[in-house]
Amino acid sequence: MNNEEEKLNRNHSHHKHHHHRSFWQRHKIWKWVLIVIGLFIVVDVALFGKMYFDAKKSANSTYKQVKTNKLRNTPDLNNGKPFTVLILGTDTGEYGRTYRGRSDTMMLAAVSPKEKKTTLVSIPRDTKVAIPGHGYNNKINAAYSYEGTKGAVNIVQSYLDVPVDYYVEMNMKGLEELSAAVGPVKVENDLEFTNLNKAFKKGTVTIDKDNILAYTRMRYEDPRGDYGRQLRQRMVLEALVKKIATIGSMTKYQSILNAISSNMKTNLTFDDMKAIATKYSSASKIEQVQLQGESQMIDGVSYEVVPQSNLDKVTSQLKKALNE
C-alpha cells in the first residue's frame, strides 16, 4: 500500500469514528431511501486495502447516467457546493415483480453545508400533476412507469421548480437481500397487524429476511395509510444501518455490498460519494418537510391535491437551501 492509500484510509477511519458518535446518534428519523446513501458511506469508510477497492467496484456497478432536462450545471461536490438528490423507492422486484412498476417513495433532498442542514421533502405518491404527453390528471409516481428515472426526475423538477442534480433509486427487493446479509434487527412497532400471513404485535418485534417486506409494505390496515408505511420503512432501515455500523467482523461486508449494488442505481460516482462523506458533514441536521395535499376523488380516482400556497412554500425552502 502506498503513502497516498494510507493517508486516504487514515482519513476514512477518523471520519468513521467522528461520524458515528454524532450523526448516527443525534439524527434518528430518516426517510428510508436516504439511508441507502448512508449505507454506502458507512461501508466505504470502514474498509481498508482490498475491501476498499471492492467497495469502489460495487459503487461503480451502481452508476447509471440518465439524460434528463438540465436546469443548471452539476455542482462541484469537491468544493462543497449545495446540491439536490432525488430519492426513489420503486416496487420493482417486490414479491417477484419484474416489470418497471412505480416510484412508491419519492423524496427530494437539498444538501447545504452553508446552511448546515439537509432539507428533505417528502412527496406524496398520489400527488396530482400534469405529465406532458399523458394529460393533466396523473399521479406523480406514474412518471416513473412512463419513462423510468428520466420521467421521475423531469416531473419533480417541473413540479417543484428546482433542479435535480442527482438521483438514487432502489427497488424493494434490495430490502430483503440487505436483511439477509445483515441479519435480524429489532424495532418498536406501534400498530398490531397481520400482512402476507405474517403477524406483528405492538411493542418490540424482530425483522428479518422472511418478514421484512410484509412489515415495510403494509398500508391498507394502517389508519395513517402511506404515512404509516413510510414510518415503518424508516425504522427498519435505521435499524439495519445501526447494525452495519457496529458489526465487529467485516466478513459480511461483501454480501452487504452485493445487496446494495444489485438493487440500486445512481448517477453519483464513487468519487462523488467520497466527496459527500468528507465535504458535507456540516449538513448533518435534517429538516423534514412534508408536501401536504388534500385527498380528492377526480373521475373516480383518488389524488392528493397540493394547494398552491403549500407548493410555493416548499419551493421557497428548497431554493433557500440551494442559495437561489
- Domain spans of the chain, in order of start: 3-321
Total-model pTM? 0.73
The predicted pLDDT at position 51 comes to: 54
The fraction of the chain above a pLDDT of 70, given in percent, is 76
Q: Place 306 in a pLDDT band, splitting at 50, 70 and 90.
A: very high
pLDDT at 122 over 50: yes
Q: Place 204 in a pLDDT band, splitting at 50, 70 and 90.
A: very high
More confident residue, 101 or 304: 304
Q: Place 49 in a pLDDT band, splitting at 50, 70 and 90.
A: very low
Mean pLDDT, rounded, for 42-66: 66
Q: Can you name the CATH fold of 3-321?
A: Aminopeptidase (3.40.630)
The predicted pLDDT at position 245 comes to: 66
The predicted pLDDT at position 309 comes to: 96
187-224 exposure pattern, b = at least 16 Cβ within 10 A, e = fewer: bebeeebebeeeebeeeebebebebbbbbbbbbeebee
For the chain, the average pLDDT equals 79
